[in-house]
Amino acid sequence: MSIEVTNITKVYKDQKALNDISFKVNDAEIVGFLGPNGAGKSTMMKILTTYIEASEGSAKVNGFNVSSDKKNVQSSVGYLPEHNPLYTDLYVKEYLNFNANVYGTSKSRINEVIELTGLTPEAHKKISQLSKGYRQRVGLANALLHNPDVLILDEPTTGLDPNQLVDIRNLIKNIGKEKTVFLSTH
Ligand code: ADP
Ligand code: MG
């Protein structure tokens, strides 16, 4: 089981964002997490990636508990946050190189993820010069750098034009042949 959520509740001060949620995602599945704005999708993803703690309940990612085994969860998970925060003044390779240094991944992996995400024709550009679709590819490439088993993608296709939407969906389908993908959308 790649993701196992058991009776998760999250309360921010007086705002209940998640109310007793349970679900499972099997290995190498692509699963959509659907709900309108404010439904709690990002909150759940932040819990699964160890950014925040649940108020009640428990969750496991790749068999590791998100509150007691954070390091192993973090090595198992590639995360594309909502609004894809990028350093737009950096060149694509420079950005991936910076993050590869942070993660301690090999330099050869940078070219692999560039190829895997179809970034090759744009890889020499500054991130600020890229279209939204290519910026999403940079976010995906970044999430794949440490070769995680599970990808957690928060609204990866929101704001894309119809062509880019199809391209990114196909890319995610391709990645999902080998990895578990958990993605949100409204
Ligand atoms: P979604 O991603 O589905 O749009 P969110 O998880 O972002 O939903 O938000 C769920 C609810 O929790 C919303 O009502 C939102 O305003 C609230 N919320 C999210 N983050 C915080 C926070 N840090 N502090 C207080 N309330 C929050
Ligand atoms: Mg959200």
pLDDT tens figures, 9-61: 999 999 999 999 999 999 999 999 999 999 999 999 999 999 999 999 999 99
Task: Name the percent of the chain lying above pLDDT 70.
Answer: 100
Residue 140: pLDDT band with limits 50, 70, 90 = very high
186: pLDDT strictly greater than 90: no
pLDDT of 11 reads 98
Q: Is-contact 90 50, C-beta < 8 A?
A: no
pLDDT mean over 148-173? 94
pLDDT tens digits along 97-110: 999 999 899 989 99
* 62 phi, psi to nearest 5 deg: 55, 30
> How far is ligand 1, taken at its centre, from the CA of residue 27, in Å?
28
Q: Is 38 in the pocket of ligand 1 (CB under 6 A)?
A: yes
Tell me which ligand sits closest to the C-alpha of residue 51.
1
166-158-20 Cα angle (round to 5): 115
pLDDT (mean) for 136-154: 96
In the reported structure, the alpha carbon of residue 160 is separated from the centroid of ligand 1 by a whole-number distance in angstroms of: 23
Q: Whose CA is nearest to atom 22 of ligand 1?
A: 12
According to the model, what pLDDT value does residue 74 have? Answer: 96
CA 33 to CA 72: how far, in whole Å? 23
CA of 78 to the centre of ligand 1 (A): 21
pLDDT band for position 165 (50/70/90)?
very high
Q: What is the identity of the amino acid at 56?
A: E
| 43 in contact with ligand 1, CB cutoff 6 A | yes
Question: Residue 1's pLDDT band (boundaries 50, 70, 90)?
Answer: confident
Q: Quick one: average pLDDT of 170-178?
A: 93
Query: Is 42's C-beta closer than 6 angstroms to any atom of ligand 1?
Result: yes
Ligand 1 pocket, residue 41 CB under 6 Å: yes
Q: What is the pLDDT of residue 70?
A: 97
Residue 17 Cβ contacting ligand 1 at under 6 Å? yes
Contact at 8 Å (CB) between 3 and 153?
Answer: no
